[in-house]
A and B are shown apart, each in its own frame.
Chain A
């Protein structure tokens, strides 16, 4: 079975802090994605990556950056956390093309 893990289930940070969310997949998938999920807004794509060191902006990249130094690991970085970044963050991976995306359990981030 594909396994996607995220570094924390719950995280509390203060405004202005730099925040790292990490995601690891164990199935040698090419594509990795970061979403945020908010009530009434569904899932919104922040960034995705289709290869090591490659990244593309999604629908809401402002205030975020990403890093993919190794194929299995995709990090989401909040350079200076703000309260409006309080959300559930979901990582996903897929083998290629239009293939199934497999999701991690999510990180619920609260920024105070």
Chain B
């Protein structure tokens, strides 16, 4: 079945460092891909998405490109802030009725 694998955390960075979180997927068909962010004690918020191969999603300085040839959707940000400390989830949607498969989540800790 469909699945998402993302790198384990926690990832600890200093402010202004470059962030990459790897995400790879297995899916039949042509999934849509998503990154969600979860701040402490809150629900998940959509960060960005891409619906077809070679699409680039971007938001708040974060970017991810849908790579069909490598089945990947890695999240990147050039200069992180302390406020980016959160858990990040990669997800795909390909089945009927909009069911998602989520990765396990990657905790990111940014220190001043």
Using a CB–CB cutoff of 8 Å, the interface residues on chain A facing chain B are: 4, 31, 33, 40-43, 45, 48, 50, 56, 58, 90, 92, 94, 96-106
Q: CA A94 – CA B89 in complex, angstroms?
A: 17
Q: CA A96 – CA B96 in complex, angstroms?
A: 9
Q: A42-B89, A42-B105, A43-B89 are in contact. Are A101 and B43 (CB under 8 A)?
A: no
Among A33, A43, A45, A106, max chain B CB count under 10 A is at: A43
Q: CA A97 – CA B102 in complex, angstroms?
A: 16
Instruction: Give the residue of A4, A43, A94 whose beta carbon is less than 8 angstroms from that of B98.
Output: A94
Q: CA A103 – CA B98 in complex, angstroms?
A: 14
Using a CB–CB cutoff of 8 Å, the interface residues on chain B facing chain A are: 31-32, 34, 36, 41-46, 49, 51, 89, 93-95, 97-100, 102-105
Contacts of B49 in A (CB 8 A): 100
Contacts of B46 in A (CB 8 A): 100-102
Contacts of A94 in B (CB 8 A): 98
On whether the beta carbons of B103 and A42 are closer than 8 Å, the reply is: yes
Q: A100-B34, A100-B49 are in contact. Are A45 and B99 (CB under 8 A)?
A: yes
Q: A43-B89, A90-B44 are in contact. Are A101 and B100 (CB under 8 A)?
A: yes
What residue of chain A has the Cβ atom nearest to residue B51's Cβ? A98
Contacts of A31 in B (CB 8 A): 97-98
Q: A104-B43, A106-B42 are in contact. Are A99 and B98 (CB under 8 A)?
A: yes
